[in-house]
Amino acid sequence: MGLRPAHTCRGVGKVCWTRFSKKKPRKSFVKALPHNAVQIFNMGDASKKYEAELQVIAEKPIQIRDNAIEAARQGANKYLEKQLPANYYFKVIIFPHNVIRENKMIVGAGADRLQKGMRQSFGRPSDRAARVGANQKIFIFRFMKKDFKVVKDAVRRATSKLSGAYYTKVVDLI
């Protein structure tokens, strides 16, 4: 079975399910953590002094799955590497702590005899997500002012892969 659509898990009205302990696994509510798709959070050259910073900020509270964050990160980073090689710094601020559960349903002939329906419907860990609040930073891009249009296009590519509404804020670093 494939990945469920994002609209099934993007609301933040539900209670977080995140407690996982490496030291005392018996105390964990979450027994097994799903793999985190986002492995790289800092890209580009962090040591340089840049002139400006562009922040991508969420307008409303939303839950973003880790594979969507990774797709946005890859899309923006590949474009920036091609256009501005080693002349930018890109940081992913959010981290997917929340574990998403999924109650698997069987489809096909005779499925009603095999499955329990909504009885014992707690679900098993299937994915991870980051819970983002209103006006919370998601990405930070640092760059030279002459490269503003390129970075703006990279932001457009990144936010098109995320559900929800976002706005940008430019901060001078000089």
Give residue-wise pLDDT tens across range 109-166.
777 777 777 887 788 888 899 999 999 999 999 999 999 999 999 999 999 999 999 9
Q: How far apart are CA 41 and CA 73, in angstroms?
A: 9
For residue 120, being part of any structural domain is answered with: no
Range of the domain at 80: 46-101+132-174
Instruction: Give percent of the chain with pLDDT exceeding 90.
Output: 62
User: How many CB atoms are closer than 10 A to CB 147?
Assistant: 19
In a domain, 20, yes or no: no
Q: How many CB atoms lie within 10 A of CB 40?
A: 11
Length of the chain: 174
Q: Quote the pLDDT of residue 109.
A: 76
Render pLDDT for 36-60 as a digit per residue (tens, 0 to 9).
999 999 999 999 999 999 999 999 9
Residue pointed to by tokens 């030279």: 144
Question: For residue 129, with 0-12 CB atoms within 10 Å meaning exposed, 13-18 middle and 19 or more buried, which class applies?
Answer: buried
- pTM for the predicted model, two decimal places: 0.88
For position 140, which CATH number holds? Answer: 3.90.1170.10
Give percent of the chain with pLDDT exceeding 70. Answer: 99
Which amino acid type is present at position 45? D
Within-domain flag for 107: no
Contact 141, 89 (CB under 8 A): yes
Neighbours of 167 (CB within 10 A): 11
Does 7 map to a domain? Answer: no
Q: How many domains does the chain have?
A: 1
Do residues 64 and 132 touch, judged by C-beta distance below 8 A? yes
Specify the amino acid at residue 68: A
153 inside domain: yes
pLDDT in the model for residue 1:
60
Judged against a pLDDT cut of 80, whether residue 69 lies above it is answered with yes
Longest dimension (CA), the chain: 68
171 vs 28: which has the higher pLDDT:
171
Calculate Rg over the CA atoms of the chain: 19
* Domain assignment present for 50: yes
